[in-house]
């Protein structure tokens, strides 16, 4: 059996480390980790804390930015999504990517674009290339993290 504390610390360390590796913008495991924590743990505070703590630790090193509340909120919503679905599947993963895109770019629009319909459209249109990276990262990291979790959990090798 895998210890809950080892699981939580390992996931946070993994998330923080991957933010320092060279990667395309928005290609991170954080969406998959937010979904995984929602299924891997029963303590709701820890479930929400894992993605937020992972982001905060790495943001302290990378640098804080004005859109942090929106980015963190998107991962809280993704975690909530994971808690509300029975099982995480490709549709859930894609929806998590959409949540991140909508929420984080809404913050970008509020802070950096004219508060007009044209500004909103321009903001989201310019963010589309980043959305593809988000979807790709969420799908790949979910395949690497979530689906093995389900496999181990089904075989009762993983209970936290």
Instruction: Please give the DSSP secondary-structure letter assigned to residue 5.
Output: H
Determine the structural domain holding residue 93 and report its residue range.
4-154
d(CA 38, CA 19) in angstroms, rounded, equals 21
pLDDT of amino acid 145:
86
Asked whether residue 121 is domain-assigned, the answer is yes
Total number of domains constituting the chain? 1
Asked whether residue 116 is domain-assigned, the answer is yes
CA distances from 26 to 29, 42, 78 (A): 9, 28, 15
Helix (H, G, I), strand (E, B) or coil at 56: helix
Helix (H, G, I), strand (E, B) or coil at 121: helix
Asked whether 124 and 105 are in contact (CB, 8 A), the reply is yes
Measured torsion, CA atoms of residues 58, 62, 67, 70, in degrees rounded to the nearest 10: -10
Asked whether 34 and 71 are in contact (CB, 8 A), the reply is no
pLDDT of amino acid 69:
98
Asked whether residue 48 is domain-assigned, the answer is yes
Measured torsion, CA atoms of residues 142, 144, 147, 151, in degrees rounded to the nearest 10: -160
Record the tokens describing residue 124, joined without a space.
């989201």
d(CA 103, CA 33) in angstroms, rounded, equals 18
Q: What are the average pLDDT values for consecutive 10-residue runs of the chain, which has 160 residues?
A: 73 90 93 88 89 94 96 97 94 98 98 98 97 97 84 65
Asked whether residue 146 is domain-assigned, the answer is yes
pLDDT of amino acid 7:
75
Asked whether residue 159 is domain-assigned, the answer is no
């Amino acid at each position: 059996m895998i210890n809950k504390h080892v699981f939580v610390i390992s996931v946070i360390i993994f998330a923080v480390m991957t933010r320092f590796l060279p990667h395309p913008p928005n290609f991170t495991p954080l969406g998959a980790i937010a979904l995984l924590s929602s299924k891997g743990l029963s303590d709701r505070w820890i479930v929400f804390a894992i993605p937020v703590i992972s982001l905060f630790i790495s943001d302290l090193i990378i640098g804080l930015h004005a859109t942090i509340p929106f980015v963190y909120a998107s991962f809280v919503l993704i975690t909530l999504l994971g808690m509300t679905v029975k099982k995480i599947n490709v549709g859930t993963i894609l929806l998590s990517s959409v949540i991140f895109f909508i929420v984080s770019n809404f913050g970008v629009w509020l802070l950096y674009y004219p508060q007009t319909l044209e500004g909103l459209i321009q903001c989201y249109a310019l963010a589309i290339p980043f959305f593809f990276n988000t979807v790709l990262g969420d799908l790949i990291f979910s395949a690497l993290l979530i689906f093995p979790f389900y496999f181990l959990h089904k075989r009762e090798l993983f209970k936290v």
